[in-house]
Amino acid sequence: MSKEELLARISINPNVCFGKPCIRGTRIWVSLILDFIATGTSQEEILQQYPHLTEDDIRACLLYGSETARGRYFDVPVEVTG
The pLDDT of residue 21 is 93
Cα 72 to chain centroid distance, Å, stands at: 16
pLDDT score recorded for residue 5: 93
Task: Judge: domain 3-69, CATH 3.90.1200.10.
Answer: no
| Cβ(28)–Cβ(79) below 8 Å | no
**Which residues, given as ranges, of the chain have pLDDT below 70?**
72-82
Reduce the DSSP state of residue 55 to 3 states and report it. helix
Strand partners of residue 16 = none
> For the chain, what are the domain ranges?
3-69
3-class SS of residue 22 = strand
